[in-house]
Every structure is written in C-alpha cells, then in structure tokens.
Structure 1
Amino acid sequence: MNGIKIALCLLILASWVSPVEAAQVIHFQLPQLVHHSNFIVHGQIQDIRTMRSNDAPGRIQRVVSVATKEVLKSDTQHSQAKTLSFVMAGGRMGRFRQFVPGLPAIQVGDKVVLFLHRRTLDGALILTGMAQGHYSLTLQPSGFMTARSDRQGIHLISRAADGHLSPAPASARVDEHPLHSFLASIRKEVGISQ
C-alpha cells in the first residue's frame, strides 16, 4: 500500500513540473548573421572550461577556445588571431548541470564556423542568435564538407517590416550548405575578396 501511495505522490509531483521551453529568438538569415556579428571564424574547438558565472554566481558557464583556421570578420586587431575564446551559458560542474535551450551541444575537436558578437554587459563574445551562430562541419561520404546549423530548442520568429512577429518557417530549423560555397557567401557579405 505504501508503494502505491509513493507512486501516486511521484505522479502528482511530476505533473506539476513544467517542461523546458524553447528559447524565442529572431530568425537571422546569412546577411543578418554577418551584420550582427563582431567575429566570424572558421576553426576547431580546442578547449572547453566550465566555471561559475562572475555576474551571476549561481549560474554555470563555459569558456570555449577555438583554434582559428580563418578569421572571416573581426572588430579588432585580432584578425590574425590563432585562438579565440567565447562564452556559452550552461554546462556541468561536479554533480550540477545547467541546460540552456537554444544553445548547441559542442565538444573539443568539433570543426565549426562561428558567428560571435560582443555581450553588452562585459564585452565577452557569445554566439549570435544562439544556435543560429554555430555551424558544425561534417565530412560527407562523397568527400566534401558541409556546414550545418541545427536550431532545435529554438522557437524561431520572423519580424515583418511592420514589426509584427510570426513563427519562422519550419525550413529554418536546420540550415545546411556545402562548406566551400558557405564560406564564399560569408566572404561576399563581409566584403572580403577571395
């Protein structure tokens, strides 16, 4: 009988827990990603350090270091930087884990193209448009690389010219391109000669 009471209590408690909501983010197409980014880099994740946030001690953040293969856009003298670091909210410290919907899963060794902008609060670099600013690079069986941004966990919204907001098309959930043409499109938007 006690087992039934415990199971019933757990069921009631579980029904009170609200599901994790997706982050609502304005949908950026490539011109907007380029415009809103201070840095655009093609490189490889070199290191991920997890630490407590300085501005919110109860929060966890990750400092991600990227070995740059190419800096496509830079707002400072760091255009020739060999490494670049940016901050992502969430992570795991000991037995504690914080998950932030809308941010991509990353790991050391990932090859990436990143769109980064400076956070107003402290100038730290963060992903532009959350997962929209992260493209993972994958070698396809045919031998060419693709750049893919998986935007699951984000509720993308579009802003009309009159300011009205509406859901972005379902096709915006995943953005995938051959790497060579994707980099060429970024260079064109930035104004870098090839």
Structure 2
Amino acid sequence: MQKRNLEDNVEKHNEQAREAVEQDREDLARKALEKKKSKMSQIEELDGQIQELQNTQDQLVEKKNKLQSRIEEFKTKKETMKARYEAAEASNRVTEAMSGVGDEMNDVGRAIDRAEERTEEMEARSEAMDELQATGTFDDALSDGDEIDQELQQGRADREVETELDTLKSEMGKADPDARVGHRHGRRRPLGARRGGG
C-alpha cells in the first residue's frame, strides 16, 4: 500500500515537471523532479526492506520446517525408545521370572537328589539286614548268647510237643497210662519197668 502511494506520487511529480517545463517554469520543474527523486529513493529503500523481510520470512519458514521435521523425528525416536524400553522391561521380567523358576527347579532337584540318596541308603540297609537275617547273624547279634536260656527254650518246646502228642493219642484211644503218669511227674518210664520197690 505504501509503495503504491509512492509510485503514484512519482508519476504525479513527473507530470508536474513536464507541465512546468511547458510553462517555462524551470524552478517548478526542478522542484517537482526533486520530489520525484525523493519518492523514488523511498521506493528503493522500501523495496530493500521488503526484500529483507521476504528473506527473513523465507528463513523463518525454513527454520519452521526444520523444527517441524525435528519434532516429528523426536516423536519417532520417542516411540521407538518407548517400544524398546517396554520390550527391555518385559524381557527383564521374563528373565527374573525364569531365574526364580530356575532357582525353584534347582531346589526341587536338590531335594529329589537327597530323597534318592536316602532311599538308596535305606534300600542298602534293608538288603544288608535281610542278608544278616538269612545267615542267622542278625538273630545272633540280637541275642545275648546265654546258652542256659537257649536250652530252657528248647526244653519248653519239647514239652509242648510231648503234650500235644499225648493229647492226640488220647483222642484216638492210643493213650499210654504209664506215659501220662510219667509225663505228669516230669519223666517218662521205660517200657516193662516194674512199679514199687519189688
């Protein structure tokens, strides 16, 4: 708008100078031309300012575009870093979980090993005891080795056999009175032995 007004004034002063020359008024013509030149200088100065503003505007637009590009790049990097962080965090959680499971599995494995060792030890002891019992060594080890107790036990077993035999003979009518009497008195008489002293 300002430039347009200056251009109009330049045209106006140019016409004034022509008209003054026609009227032989060099003084007015000179004055009009001076004003024309002044307006033209203002136009040149204004053009320079306009060009400078245009350059500044172009630079601002370029900076704006670069800034916008950097903003978009930052957003992209931010999303990428966020995704990488979440992936790393998830990986760490999985690693920690697997580490915990691994520790538990190690504990379970050690417990199983201990149980197997104890089982094998008990089986070995059981086999050894069976072998000792089969050879009689186990019974000998448990007894105190008293021969008197062994003989008394054998005597009780013999009496039980004799009693059962007498009972069986009595039931079958084969009982021997002398045998029962002798057994009752703690001894058995030989066959044909005489009663009394004669």
The verdict on a shared fold, with TM-score over 0.5 as the criterion, is no
Give the TM-score category using the shorter length.
Answer: under 0.3
What is the TM-score of this pair, normalised by structure 2? 0.14
More helix by share: 2
Query: More strand by proportion, 1 or 2?
Result: 1
